[in-house]
């Protein structure tokens, strides 16, 4: 397996994996797939990766800015999506994203995961994230209020 960058040429495959995540009902509150241009604006210029096996995209991960305030410049939000579950793809993607984030000077990674998405919570814990709280009834999905578990990972090498 190898990593490559997400760009407009491979975004259709990224979007298909994202669509699968949307359809699970536990991966995101989003209901539509953005265009590449919309997606590009919302993500940092680094830490946007795909995992390839035999030139096929098996999953993707990305980093997003959490705030425009300078005090938060070392913090990013992570997104991780895999085409299949239980095969270690998420672990490979998240570990690579952590490596990239630290090389770019980020000291904290964070995410909000739907309470029911146990597999994602376990993945993040496996990669050094910890639960720091939750947002109760943060959003409605199909008329049902959903909670988000808030997780973060503090770098052991940046900002110490």
DSSP 24-72: HSSS-S--SPPPHHHHHHHS-SS-EEEEEETTEEEEEEEEEES-SSGGG
When pLDDT is averaged across residues 98-122 and rounded to a whole number, the result is 96
pLDDT for 27 beyond 90? no
156 token code pair: 């052991």
Give the Cα separation of 84 and 90 in Å (integer). 9
76 in a structural domain: yes
pLDDT at 85 over 80: no
8 A C-beta contact, residue 152 and residue 108: yes
In a domain, 11, yes or no: yes
- 157: its two tokens: 């090498």
Domain containing residue 116: CATH number: 3.40.630.30
What's the mean pLDDT in 100-110? 97
* Residue 159 counted as domain residue: no
Question: What total number of domains does the chain contain?
Answer: 1
Better-scored residue on pLDDT, 64 or 26: 64
Residue 41 falls inside a structural domain: yes
Q: Is 160 part of any domain? A: no
138 Cβ partners below 8 Å, 6+ apart? 112, 146, 147, 148
**What's residue 159's pLDDT?**
83
Residue keyed to tokens 């770019």: 104
Task: Quote the pLDDT of residue 89.
Answer: 95
Average pLDDT along the chain: 93
- pLDDT at residue 110 in the model: 97
| Residue ranges making up the domain that contains 37 | 2-154
Work out the average pLDDT over 83-99: 91
């Amino acid at each position: 397996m190898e990593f490559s960058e997400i760009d407009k040429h491979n975004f259709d495959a990224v979007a298909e994996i994202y669509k699968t995540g949307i359809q699970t009902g536990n991966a995101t509150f989003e209901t539509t797939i953005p265009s590449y241009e919309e997606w590009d604006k919302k993500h940092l210029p680094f830490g946007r990766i795909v995992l390839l096996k035999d030139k096929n995209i098996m999953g993707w991960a990305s980093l997003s800015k959490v705030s425009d305030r300078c005090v938060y410049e070392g913090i990013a939000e992570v997104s991780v999506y895999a085409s299949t579950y239980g095969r270690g793809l998420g672990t490979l993607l998240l570990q690579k994203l952590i490596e990239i984030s630290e090389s770019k000077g980020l000291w904290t990674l964070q995410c909000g995961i739907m309470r029911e998405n146990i597999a994602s919570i376990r993945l993040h814990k496996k990669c050094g994230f910890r639960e720091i709280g939750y947002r109760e009834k943060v959003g409605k999905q199909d008329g049902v209020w959903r909670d988000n578990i808030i997780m973060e990972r503090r770098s052991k090498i940046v900002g110490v």
